[in-house]
A = this chain, B = another copy of it.
C-alpha cells in the first residue's frame, strides 16, 4: 500500500486534499471538510460523512451544487458526532442543515446523536437515510438495505435543490424522493485490503466473484465462478429492476469499486445499457467511473434512479467539486 503507517492514513489523505484543493477548508485535526464560502447566506446546507475508503465519497463531493461539508471517519468506520456538530455549525447559515446518512448502524446512531446536539445549539437539522442496495436485507452492519451508490444521486440532486434556494423541508423532500427512486447492486471480483489489516478483508479466490457485495466487502447473495460482463450486467440490472420497476427515465451510475480499470468499466457500461434497452427502460443520463469505492476492490456496481423533470433538472444543474464537476 502507498501509505506511511495505518494510523495516519486518514490524516495524510486530508493533508493531501488541503494541498490539492484550496477551494475547500480542510480541518485535518478535527476531520471536517467544508466548502470555503460556507456558510452560504440563505442556503440550506448539506452535510454527509461516513467511513473513509470510499473516495471520492464524501469529501470529494464538497463544493457548490453538492455538499457543504463532509466528515470522514477512520477507514470503514463511522465518523463521530463531534465532527458532525462542528461541521454543522460551520456551514449553517440559519437556513438549516440536511444530514445525508448511509444506512449503517454506526452512522445512523452517530448522525442521530449529532442531530440532537446540533439542535441543542440552535441548528435546525433534517436527516435522510440512504438505503439503496437491493442485494441483502439486514446484515452485519445494517438493519434493512445498505446505503451505497445512490448516495451520489442524493448528494448531487439535493445539493442542487439547496443551491437553488429551496427551504429545508423541500430539500429534504427532494432527497427522500431520490432515495425512494434509487436502487443498487454490486459485484466484487476481488476483496479489498484495509491499511489496518494490511491484506484482504475477506477471502475471494481468483476466478470467483461475489454477487451483491457491499461497499465494505460485506457478503452478498451468492458466490460464483467468474462470469462475463454480459452475464454480470444481466444479474445486476435485473436485481435492481425487480425492486425498482421504473416508470420514468433513469439516471445510470456504473460505479467502479476501485481497482477495475476504466476500460473495463466502460465495457460493463455498454452491457448495462444493453440490458436496460432490452427491458424497455429509457436512460436519461449515464455516469461511468469510480465514485463510491471500496479501497482497492475490483468490481462494479449499478445504481439506477428514476427521475421526473424536476429531478433531472437538478441532476443537470452545475456542480463544482473535486469528484464531480460540470455546468458553469
Q: Which residues of A contact B (CB under 8 A)?
A: 1-5, 8-10, 12-20, 52-53, 55-56, 60, 75, 187, 189, 228-230, 232, 254, 258-271, 273, 283, 286-288, 290, 293, 295-296, 298-300, 320, 325-326, 328
Complex Cα spacing A9 to B264, Å = 7
Select one of B12, B187, B326 contacting A270, CB under 8 A.
B12
How many copies are assembled? 2
Contacts A15-B270, A19-B269 aside, 17 further interface pairs with beta carbons under 8 A come to A3-B267, A4-B229, A4-B271, A5-B228, A9-B267, A12-B270, A13-B264, A16-B265, A16-B268, A18-B270, A19-B273, A19-B283, A20-B266, A20-B286, A261-B296, A290-B290, A296-B298
Q: Is the CB of B229 within 8 A of A266?
A: no
Expressed in whole angstroms, the Cα–Cα distance for A46 and B264 within the complex equals 26
Indicate if the CB atoms of B296 and A259 lie closer than 8 Å. yes
**With A264-B9, A266-B13 known to touch, is A328 a contact of B328 (CB < 8 Å)?**
yes
List chain B residues, Cβ under 8 A from A9: 263-264, 267
Given known pairs A20-B269, A55-B262, the reply for A2 and B300 (CB within 8 Å) is: yes
Q: Name the distance in Å between A154's Cβ and chain B's nearest Cβ.
A: 20
Judge whether A3 and B264 touch: CB under 8 Å: yes
- The closest CB in chain B to the CB of A277 belongs to B19
Q: A267: which B residues are within 8 A, CB to CB?
A: 2-4, 8-9, 12-13, 15-16
Query: In the bound complex, how far is the Cα of B21 from the Cα of A86, in angstroms?
Result: 40
Known A-B contacts A12-B270, A259-B296, A287-B20; A189 and B264 likewise in contact (beta carbons under 8 Å): no
- Asked if B263 contacts A52 (CB within 8 A), the reply is yes
Closest residue to A226 on the B side, CB-wise? B1
Smallest beta-carbon distance A185→chain B, Å: 14
Q: Considering the chains assembled together, what is the distance between the CA atoms of A55 and B232 in angstroms? A: 22
Given contacts A2-B260, A230-B4, A326-B325, contact A266 B17 (CB under 8 A): yes
Nearest chain B CB to A251's CB is how many angstroms away?
12
Cα-based distance from A300 to B2 in the complex (angstroms): 8
A269 to B4, CA, bound (A): 12
Closest to A318 in B: B328
Least CB distance from A4 to B in Å reads 5
- List the B side residues contacting A229 at CB < 8 Å: 2-4, 12
State which of B53, B187, B259 has its C-beta within 8 Å of the C-beta of A259. Answer: B259
What's the least CB distance linking A72 to chain B, in Å?
A: 9
By a CB distance below 8 angstroms, the chain B residues around A266 are 12-17, 20, 55
Give Cα A221 to B300, complex, Å. Answer: 34
With A16-B270, A269-B16 as contacts: A262 and B60 at CB distance below 8 Å: yes
